[in-house]
Structure 1
Amino acid sequence: MISVKMLKPYYIKADDQFVRIILAYQYFSVLINKKVYQFIPIEAKEIRINRRTRKVENVGSRFAFQKGKEIIYMTMTELMTLPDFLEQLDTIAKPYYEAKHEVDEVESEANAVIDELEKRNIKRLIDKALDERDEDTFRELVKLL
């Protein structure tokens, strides 16, 4: 029986494309047959997640875990079969998924409101130009629609 005892990032790097969860000794441990094995950074040291698809990109990476002199290697694919690993990973990475998406959504909504207000303002100015029988202003404003 394998389960994740602890999964905490040493630090997190996020760019436009990936969330990189950097691991270090004492921040990641697994329980294998009731024995605690500590992560050691001799091979893979990070979990790389695509921010858009929210999928782990480095599935072929191999992680090393040590108890005394015994070292056990597990691939990312093996770790991903553990439900508690996926839950903890999702909890760690979730703030980095949403941040950019929410900002883009709010910005898009704000731009739509501004566009609508500008169109309404132009229509009001056209009405004013018609009321004042100002043909030149009317023609200029109609070009803006």
Structure 2
Amino acid sequence: MLSIKTLKPFYVKQETRNIRIMLAYQYFTIHIDGDVYQFVPVEGREIVVNRKTKRIENEKDILVFQKGKHMIQISIAELLDIPEFLTHVHSIAHRYLTKQLPVTLEKSGDVIYELERQNAMRLIDQAIDHNDKEAFLELCDYMNENFTVSHETQK
């Protein structure tokens, strides 16, 4: 019989798409047939939770547990069959899933670029609505000089 004794993150890394629950010695222990095994970071060292779907993405990763000299390998997929494992993971990840990541300087530049592009597009539409050929041509030149047309912006 396999059960979770302790599951605490060593630390949690927040990313735009995922939350990485980093594991370390003494923070993750399991019971197997009455014996206590401690996690050792030999192979897998983290649990990756997708922010959008809230699902564990690295189910195929293997975690290694040790008791004395005896080591046992368990995949995250096997651990998912234990309801308390999911409960522990979701209680850890929940705090981070609800937090919005601060906008980084790099991302704010992307936001400003996109806002300027959208504003120029609106001004072009306005020039068309008012039959202002001069403003239309000037704005089209501005768009060509300052914004690259990508497949994403054409959608």
| TM-score normalised by structure 2 residue count | 0.64
Q: More helix by proportion, 1 or 2?
A: 1
Partner of 2:57: 57
1:75-106 Cα shifts (integer Å, max 9, x gaps): 010000001110011100001111229xxxxx
Amino acid at match of 1:33: D
Offset at residue 74 of structure 1 (A): 0.2
Partner of 1:20: 20
Whole-Å Cα distance in 2 between the matches of residues 24 and 95 of structure 1?
Answer: 20
Q: Which runs of 4+ in 1 moved over 6 A?
A: none
Partner of 1:67: 67
Partner of 2:108: none
Partner of 2:123: none
Offset at residue 40 of structure 1 (A): 0.3
- The answer for unaligned runs of 5 or more in structure 1 is 102-145
* 1:95-114 to 2 correspondences below 5 Å: 95-100=95-100
- The answer for unaligned runs of 5 or more in structure 2 is 102-155
Offset at residue 19 of structure 1 (A): 0.2
Partner of 2:142: none
- How large is the Cα RMSD of the aligned pairs? 1.1
Offset at residue 15 of structure 1 (A): 1.1
Q: Which has the larger radius of gyration?
A: 1
Tell me the percent identity.
44
Amino acid at match of 1:17: R
1:106-127 Cα shifts (integer Å, max 9, x gaps): xxxxxxxxxxxxxxxxxxxxxx
Whole-Å Cα distance in 2 between the matches of residues 64 and 34 of structure 1?
Answer: 18
